[in-house]
């Protein structure tokens, strides 16, 4: 809303002459000044009002706020004492309770009607429409009552206020065509829609320079109905914003009287006899009940920590805001009647506390901290988990990133090429303004890959990032706390592992195992051992990926980005990606426990075995452990290679034997080795390498 300060001064003596200081007063009252044009008396404030305060969209409403703060008087503008005893020549029928009050005033206009300069100066661009229309806008600015003028000659038959039964199309005053949804308030004559109630008038009945007689509409409409209609039409007029917040039913006639007062002064209507009221028709819709509320003064004292606050001050401020106040017994309680313009937003004692607090000033509240709590809550499982793993990921050079939760339709289509099943699990967003946000992400791989590529283009050699993210899936999640989403720890590495070019770049194999090392470090921090098994995730390279398991539970996956996806995303570098389910990790993490360290020396033996290419070395390790060698305490892998001409790998396992009771003799270790080799050969068809 644009507020000329000079106009405000007609209503109230301002507490500050300096524009900057006055602006502070406005801000302090919840009238946020977004811009100031001009200086001193010529200043115009652009004000953003609170979304529930229709009464703030007028000079009178703002004057009332200021008066309550400074307990000063508001000057009311001059209005005509009466309108007319006669009815309009056209009858009016209200067929909907969504129209709370409707007044139609018939008026003849003087020829060459001119707007008074002092009025014009307060309007945007000095007015410039038809003088009667400019006057209506001026009254709205003063009093917050939108009004509309129809050219009487263009209205046929009676005026009816009713709800649309179906979608209608109207040509509006702004030159655009709108679809009006069903159940909207419309003002019609016997043939056409003249206006969409509370929103905008139609061009078919607009006032022109040739108009000699007008029908001026002043009304009160149901705010929700107006909002629904305006929203559906995609329009926000000053009228719809005001009616949508709730207008003042009692202002319907007052505004017409103010208009008459201005018309008389403007046109000298009584002098030439050509501009005068021909009639007034008033129809009422549903009446609004008077609202009385009780206000406990003790409650205000307590909330604002003002023990000496007197009821008389509370009453005075509320009266300046337009409330009627009766003092109860012993000044402990007030009975407050809500004014007609505040029935939309004041309905409880809390509202009255706010009314008083705002007018009194929040800066005058004496602040007291609530007590500290010595029964502190435990950190959440997520906090514990993050605390434990963070040193591992940060220490490995991974930085935290935050990506958005969306995909575009083309992203989904791209994933669909690799896995139609995966693509079908996306949750769509039906009304995204940004076209890139039409779906919720099902994996973080695309986001992290794009992020890596973007950083490489900026000259970042080593991209190592992690994100504690949410992934979304149309399949309901039976395992976690949320229906369609789950928390994941995702990691990605691309480019060099180290942050400079001094040494030769790591090979793909080295990068893969460096990446796995970070995951092992994360698991170790959680008191877990990283175990993997074969995987077939469609977005990762089929030969360079693994599922991560804890016991029998699949808790995540990692691997190299699928070459097709890499190509689709136009990545220049390989990218390793891991995704770990946080809920599963939280459930499984444990603290370390004491494990006896034997004093007696251990014996190490290396076994080189023939391993099929598709078989995981970790499976062989498990097999070795399951052979029943009682003295075997550890199996580690120390070498793995494949000759090009052979169809198997040669993998060397280092077996550690140890006893807590004695130093082991060579023959007993030999027996254990024989046992293991026999078991491997007979049960698993694994042979020792020559």
Instruction: Name the residue among 622, 624, 604 with its Cα closest to residue 688.
Output: 624
Q: How far apart are CA 44 and CA 337, in angstroms?
A: 34
User: For residues 395 and 613, which CB has a smaller minimum distance to another protein in the complex?
Assistant: 395
Q: Burial code of 246-275, b = ≥16 C-beta within 10 A, e = fewer? A: bbbbebbbbbbbbbbbbbbebbebeeeeeb
User: For residues 464 and 649, which CB has a smaller minimum distance to another protein in the complex?
Assistant: 464
Q: What is the DSSP letter of 202?
A: B
3-state SS, 176-197, equals CEEEECCCCEEEECCCCEEEEC
User: For residues 370 and 644, which CB has a smaller minimum distance to another protein in the complex?
Assistant: 370
Please report how close the Cβ of residue 595 comes to another protein at its closest, in angstroms: 29
Contact 156, 189 (CB under 8 A): yes
Q: How far apart are CA 601 and CA 371, in angstroms?
A: 60
User: For residues 268 and 379, which CB has a smaller minimum distance to another protein in the complex?
Assistant: 379
User: For residues 4 and 244, which CB has a smaller minimum distance to another protein in the complex?
Assistant: 244
Q: What is the DSSP letter of 543?
A: E
Do the bridges between strand 168-171 and strand 575-581 make them parallel or antiparallel, or are there none, so unpaired?
A: unpaired
User: For residues 90 and 300, which CB has a smaller minimum distance to another protein in the complex?
Assistant: 300
Please report how close the Cβ of residue 26 comes to another protein at its closest, in angstroms: 10
User: For residues 430 and 690, which CB has a smaller minimum distance to another protein in the complex?
Assistant: 430
User: For residues 421 and 599, which CB has a smaller minimum distance to another protein in the complex?
Assistant: 421
Please report how close the Cβ of residue 46 comes to another protein at its closest, in angstroms: 10
Residue with tokens 């992690």: 466
Please report how close the Cβ of residue 266 comes to another protein at its closest, in angstroms: 35
User: For residues 357 and 544, which CB has a smaller minimum distance to another protein in the complex?
Assistant: 357
Please report how close the Cβ of residue 459 comes to another protein at its closest, in angstroms: 8
User: For residues 184 and 281, which CB has a smaller minimum distance to another protein in the complex?
Assistant: 184
User: For residues 51 and 312, which CB has a smaller minimum distance to another protein in the complex?
Assistant: 51
Instruction: Name the residue among 221, 191, 257 with its Cα closest to residue 200.
Output: 221
Please report how close the Cβ of residue 509 comes to another protein at its closest, in angstroms: 17
Q: How far apart are CA 219 and CA 251, in angstroms?
A: 9
Please report how close the Cβ of residue 114 comes to another protein at its closest, in angstroms: 37
- Tokens, residue 238: 């000053």
Helix (H) or strand (E) run with residue 315 in it: helix 311-320
Please report how close the Cβ of residue 445 comes to another protein at its closest, in angstroms: 15
Q: Burial code of 391-411, b = ≥16 C-beta within 10 A, e = fewer? A: ebbeebebeebebebbbbeeb
Q: Given its phi and psi angles, is residue 4 left (phi above 0), alpha (psi -120 to 50 degrees) or beta?
A: beta
Contacts of 560 (CB under 8 A, 6+ apart): 508, 512, 540, 541, 544, 545, 574, 575, 576, 577
Please report how close the Cβ of residue 462 comes to another protein at its closest, in angstroms: 6
- Tokens, residue 687: 């042979």
Instruction: Name the residue among 633, 620, 638 with its Cα closest to residue 672.
Output: 633
Please report how close the Cβ of residue 68 comes to another protein at its closest, in angstroms: 12
Please report how close the Cβ of residue 428 comes to another protein at its closest, in angstroms: 4
Q: In what order do the strands lie in the sheet with 99-108?
A: 147-151, 213-221, 99-108, 277-284
Handedness of CA 256, 259, 263, 264 (dihedral sign): positive
């Amino acid at each position: 809303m644009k507020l000329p300060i000079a106009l405000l001064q007609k209503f109230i003596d301002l507490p500050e002459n300096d524009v900057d200081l006055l602006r502070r007063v406005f801000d302090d009252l919840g009238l946020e000044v977004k811009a100031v044009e001009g200086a001193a008396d010529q200043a115009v404030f652009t004000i953003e009002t609170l979304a529930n305060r229709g009464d703030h969209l007028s000079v009178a409403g703002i004057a009332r706020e200021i008066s309550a703060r400074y307990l000063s008087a508001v000057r009311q503008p001059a209005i005509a004492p009466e309108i007319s005893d006669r009815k309009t020549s056209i009858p009016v029928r209200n067929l909907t309770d969504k129209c709370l009050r409707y007044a139609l005033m018939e008026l003849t206009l003087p020829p060459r009607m001119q707007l008074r300069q002092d009025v014009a100066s307060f309007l945007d661009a000095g007015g410039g429409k038809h003088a009667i229309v400019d006057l209506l806008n001026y009254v709205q600015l003063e009093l917050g009552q939108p009004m509309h003028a129809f050219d009487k000659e263009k209205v046929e038959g009676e005026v009816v206020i009713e709800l649309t039964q179906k979608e209608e199309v109207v040509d509006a005053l702004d030159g655009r065509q709108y679809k009006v949804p069903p159940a909207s308030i419309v003002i019609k004559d016997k043939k056409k829609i003249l206006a969409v109630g509370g929103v905008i008038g139609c061009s078919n009945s607009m006032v022109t320079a040739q108009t000699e007689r007008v029908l001026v509409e002043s009304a009160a409409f149901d705010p929700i109905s107006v909002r629904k209609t305006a929203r559906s039409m995609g329009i926000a007029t000053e009228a719809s914003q005001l009616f949508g917040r709730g207008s003042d039913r009692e202002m319907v006639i007052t505004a017409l009287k103010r208009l008459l007062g201005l018309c008389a002064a403007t046109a000298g209507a009584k002098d030439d006899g050509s501009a005068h009221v021909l009639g007034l028709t008033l129809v009422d819709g549903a009446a609004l009940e008077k609202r009385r509320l009780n206000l406990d003064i003790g409650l205000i004292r307590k909330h604002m920590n003002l023990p000496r606050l007197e009821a008389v001050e509370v009453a005075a401020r509320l009266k300046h805001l337009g409330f009627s106040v009766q003092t109860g017994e012993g000044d402990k309680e007030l009975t407050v009647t809500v004014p007609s313009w505040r029935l939309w937003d004041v309905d409880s004692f809390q509202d009255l506390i706010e009314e008083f607090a705002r007018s009194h000033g929040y800066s005058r509240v004496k602040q007291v901290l609530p007590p500290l709590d010595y029964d502190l809550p435990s950190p959440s499982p997520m906090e514990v988990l993050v605390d434990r793993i963070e040193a591992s990921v940060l220490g490995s050079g991974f930085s935290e990133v935050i990506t958005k939760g969306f995909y575009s339709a083309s992203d989904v289509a791209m994933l669909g090429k690799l896995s139609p099943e995966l693509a079908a699990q996306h949750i769509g967003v039906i009304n995204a303004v940004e076209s890139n946000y039409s779906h919720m992400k099902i994996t973080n791989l695309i986001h992290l890959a794009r992020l890596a590529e973007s950083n490489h283009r900026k000259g970042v050699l080593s991209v190592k990032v992690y994100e504690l993210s949410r992934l979304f899936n149309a399949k309901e999640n039976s395992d976690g706390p949320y229906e369609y989403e789950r928390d994941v720890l995702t990691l990605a590495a691309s480019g060099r592992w180290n942050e400079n070019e001094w040494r030769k770049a790591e090979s793909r194999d080295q990068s893969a195992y460096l990446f796995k090392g970070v995951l092992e470090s994360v698991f170790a921090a959680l008191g877990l051992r990283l175990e993997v098994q074969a995987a077939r995730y469609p977005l990762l390279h089929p030969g360079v990926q693994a599922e991560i398991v804890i016991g029998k539970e699949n808790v995540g996956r990692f691997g190299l980005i699928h070459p097709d996806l890499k190509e689709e995303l136009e990545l220049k570098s390989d990218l390793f990606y891991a995704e770990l389910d946080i809920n599963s990790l939280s459930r499984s993490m444990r603290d370390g426990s004491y494990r006896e360290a034997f004093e007696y020396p251990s014996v190490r033996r290396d076994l080189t075995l023939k391993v099929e290419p598709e078989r995981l070395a970790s499976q062989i390790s498990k097999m070795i452990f399951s052979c029943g060698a009682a003295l075997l305490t550890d199996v580690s892998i120390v070498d793995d290679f494949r000759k090009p001409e052979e169809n198997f790998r040669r993998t060397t396992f280092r077996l550690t034997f140890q006893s807590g009771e004695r130093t082991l003799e060579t023959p007993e270790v030999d027996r254990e080795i024989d046992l293991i080799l026999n078991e491997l050969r007979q049960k698993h068809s694994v042979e020792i390498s020559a």
